[in-house]
Amino acid sequence: MASDPPAMTGSGDVPTVQVRDGSGRQLLCFLEQLIPLDGHDYALLTPVDTPVCLFRLSDDDDPELVETLNATEPILSVADVVLQEHDLTLVRSAVTLTVSGELEEPDPDELEDEEGDDDSETYELLVSFMAGEEEYGLYIPLDPFFVVARMEGADAVMVEGEEFERVQPRIEAELDERESDD
């Protein structure tokens, strides 16, 4: 019995799919590539909303990425209020925090003119704010943000841990091969 293709919706030509992580949180993504491996279809996805990273800022040091974050963290409540002033919404989704709303496109000329450390070249500051005694910033990664998921019928399940370690190099090899065929 053949399984039905994933139920995907979307505007334009790029289909979208809802991906779920191990905690049950979801993230709406564009389906970029479908890669068959070991009898499963793996999907390479990009978030529909803009991914953001939270950094702790200090005058003396480089910004420090806040990697583990509880969805009820008080810092995120402050970020919510700051973003609302810009008609943006912080979404606590699977994989990453995202921001929905109308964002200005970064000016490529400005990005090239900026001198500085590696972080300033790979992230653009969206907003900064104070939470308690510390300053934080929400940054937009300038490199493409990809999510790897395994398609299970109409569902997309985020690939994490050992499975990710196992399939990620094979997916990259398949993508390199597809690019060289073009």
pLDDT band at 153 (very low <50, low <70, confident <90, very high): confident
pLDDT (0 to 100) of residue 72: 65
Query: Which of 31-35, 47-51, 58-62, 127-131 bottoms out in mean pLDDT, i.e. has the lowest?
Result: 58-62
- Tell which residue, 126, 136, 129, 128, has the closest CA to residue 103: 126
Pairing mode of beta strands 16-20, 155-158: parallel
pTM to 2 decimal places = 0.76
More confident residue, 119 or 107: 107
- The helix/strand/coil state of 30 is strand
pLDDT in tens, 101-113: 887 765 555 444 4
What is the tens place of the pLDDT at every residue in 79-100? Answer: 999 999 999 999 888 888 899 9
The residue ranking higher by pLDDT, 7 or 158, is 158
Residue 18's pLDDT band, with cuts at 50, 70 and 90, is very high
Q: What is the mean pLDDT of the chain?
A: 82
Say yes or no to pLDDT of 55 above 90: yes
Q: Is the pLDDT of residue 180 over 80?
A: yes
Report which of 32, 30, 76 is spatially closest to residue 52, judged by C-alpha positions: 76
d(CA 52, CA 88): 12
DSSP, res 2: P
**Size (the chain), residues:** 182
Decide which of 161 and 154 is more confident. Answer: 161
- Which residue ranges make up each domain of the chain? 16-47+144-181, 50-141
Asked if 91 contacts 98 with a C-beta cutoff of 8 angstroms, the reply is: yes
Q: Output the pLDDT for position 154.
A: 77
